[in-house]
Chains A and B, each alone.
Chain A
């Protein structure tokens, strides 16, 4: 029961994260720079535990990222070992670096490109969670190039497909 709830929260945060990536691609220069440097057509996947929520994306020149079908094989996969571990990261109880240090997820694919993806997740986290919150988990909170509220509003308006 608890796991099912965590699964649903994970799926929801992945939605917000995806929309957030698209908003930040347009409005945050650092995220745009990172994504522009990705190989054309790069495919990425975030898997939240066995049988858990999945976000599969590909690089899109127009919007930064576009969705893919979850079953598709991707060049880069960040795979959480458990639903609970993914929940802790996606709800901001733990940073991506801390989760990596605790072996919460595995990486498939080129570690070089994965690092860029990790930075994008960290930028998004800085907007997603309140500052006092991010400060607790991130080594350094990246400066925001626009207000978190604006990112939320834009994310709501963003096409989630």
Chain B
């Protein structure tokens, strides 16, 4: 590699009371009629109310909470229509990856004056359009969507998850407030936390890896190492929640620039074909994906041991054993989370039917993430990773 690009224009408001600045942030973005996107669960448990309270005097153009877990092209198109019908002039997205990605799709449509997301498919091909102020407030610490130029949106007609990559998707502002993740149940904390780890590890080892994205990825890995188990065990710990929210943002910015690889390619396919939740899929597939890439990534994974296991373990592990030890650290983390929350570690536990493997493999090969994976991904390789991940 002798050339790279890096961008992360999102303003980050992170920590205690971050949400209190929402009205101000919208105002300086020139917004007065925001559309608030969220989901029914967040409305029910009162998280949405915290956000509408924080909006105080700002006149809300429309609140939309009917967003399913796997948001689709149709949902995005419908919301964009409402955005126009209700005269909204900004987007506030409160939720996990699905809500945030939905908002990104809506932003893309509005900015390009388009009606159908299918017209805007592609990678880095959409020009800067109409400005649509966009504030993202994640309620999970995992997808890192608040920091990325990527959106994954389902196309139910084809039964696949489609990837959109564009600068026009990156939020203007991300608000990371520990209050937003305080009530996240332990199992989802674990699952989304492993997604963060996976973003950082894949970003650190993919073809687009570069010194700037590496710095983000390393910081994310250290935060996950020191805080994920604590956030799972002691959900009310603001320090642990805050650290994981920061990790998620950092890992998101890392992979938005250096992309993810085979683990995500297969994970997206498993989500599309077998409906395995994204974080669960990452948790299940990460070790097998690392073992597959190890042939090309021995040095890179060896280096990762320093951040995954800490300096002491790194120091006493001989160089040639470090890559293996790094994978073992991931397995150990996974085992602990499994014991604490029952997070599945095999595809069998996740209820995946092995008869679907060929379909999953075909979809995975067509995922954009395979192109930047360090090792050539073949059909046979994907099947092998799926088989290894099925049993222990």
Q: Mark contacts of B181-214 with chain A using CB atoms, 8 A cut-off: 1 yes-contact digit, 0 otherwise.
A: 0000000000000000000000000111000000
Cβ of B54 within 8 Å of any chain A Cβ, yes or no, is no
CA–CA, A110 and B366, complex, Å: 10
Task: Give CA–CA (A101, B165) in the complex, Å.
Answer: 13
The answer to whether the Cβ of B160 comes within 8 Å of any Cβ in the partner chain is: yes
B376 and A115: CB pair below 8 A?
Answer: no
Contact with A along B113-143 (1 / 0, CB 8 A): 0000000011111000000000000000000
Q: Contact check, A111 vs B122: say whether CB atoms are below 8 A apart.
A: yes
Interface range on chain A: under 10, 10 to 19, 20 to 34, or 35 or more?
20 to 34
Q: Which residues from chain B contact A107 at a C-beta distance below 8 Å? A: 122-125
Smallest Cβ distance from A45 to chain B, in angstroms? 12
Once the chains bind, are B121 and A110 in contact (CB under 8 Å)? Answer: yes
Query: What would 17 A/B residue contacts be, using CB atoms closer than 8 Å?
Result: A77-B125, A98-B207, A100-B207, A100-B371, A100-B372, A101-B207, A102-B4, A102-B208, A106-B124, A106-B125, A108-B121, A109-B121, A110-B162, A111-B163, A111-B165, A111-B368, A115-B366
Q: A97 at interface (Cβ–Cβ under 8 A)? A: yes
Count of B interface residues, CB-CB < 8 Å: 29
In the complex, the answer to whether B1 meets A102 with C-beta atoms within 8 Å is yes
Contact of B367 with A by CB under 8 A: yes
Give the chain A neighbours of B368 by CB distance below 8 A: 111, 114-115
Q: Quick check: is A135 within 8 A (CB to CB) of the other chain?
A: no
Interface residue ranges, B against A (CB under 8 Å)? 1, 3-5, 121-125, 158, 160, 162-163, 165, 206-208, 259, 296, 365-368, 370-372, 374-376
For B370, give the chain A residue with the smallest CB separation. Answer: A115
Q: Are B365 and A98 in contact (CB under 8 A)?
A: no
Whether A98 contacts B1 by the Cβ 8 Å rule is yes
Contact assessment for A109 and B1 in the assembled complex, using a CB-CB cutoff below 8 Å: no
Q: A79-B125, A106-B122 are in contact. Are A140 and B3 (CB under 8 A)?
A: no
Would you call B125 and A108 a contact (CB within 8 A)?
yes
Shortest CB-to-CB span from B122 to chain A, Å, is 4
Q: Are A118 and B123 in contact (CB under 8 A)?
A: no
